[in-house]
Amino acid sequence: MAKYFYIAGFFLTVSPDSIQLVAEHAAAKYKVFVMNRSTPFYVYVDFVFGNETEVRTFSKTDDVAEIAMKISERPKASGTHKRITVITQGVDPVVVAEDGKVKLFPVIVLPKEKTC
């Protein structure tokens, strides 16, 4: 039986359900699960979207603004556009990092009668 499971990040576009199954199996059986996010297509991404929980998973800090900045500064294949990172945080401000700057955009909370 395998002791280690490795899945390259590009496989996320092919079969995320398979990754979930392998990850759950590895956790249940106390196996090592390894995955990279340094796949070739990330260098082509102009906009990166995520929420605070997702981005904190891949960082050593909880500072969402710092994480957004680091993601936006990652190298890109094309110099046509700068990478923009957008991180949502529920009712907390949306964090946007672009061109070496971080901006916060307040979230307007809808009245209960206007929500689903």
**Rounded CA gap, 73 and 34, in Å?**
25
Q: Between these two residues, 48 and 95, which has the higher pLDDT value?
A: 95
Structure confidence at residue 45 (pLDDT): 77
Cα-based angle 12, 15, 16 (whole degrees, multiple of 5): 60
Per 3-state DSSP, the chain is made up of helix, strand and coil in percentages (nearest 5) of 35, 25, 40
Q: How confident is the model at residue 36 (pLDDT cuts 50, 70, 90)?
A: low
Same domain as 26, residue 58: no
101 shares a domain with 77? yes
Q: Map tokens 């990166």 to a residue.
A: 48
pLDDT of residue 96: 97
- Quote the domain boundaries for residue 50: 43-105
Average pLDDT, the chain: 85
What does the alpha-carbon distance between residue 52 and residue 32 come to, in Å, rounded to a whole number?
25
What is the mean predicted confidence (pLDDT) over 20-33? 86
Question: Which residues make beta-bridge pairs with 88?
Answer: 51
Q: Count the domains in the chain.
A: 2
Task: Please state the rounded mean pLDDT for residues 24-52.
Answer: 77
- Does residue 111 belong to any structural domain of this protein? no
* Mean pLDDT in residue range 15-42: 78
Same domain, 31 and 48: no
**Does residue 42 sit in helix, strand or coil?**
helix
d(CA 82, CA 46): 7
The enclosing H or E element of 103 equals strand 101-105
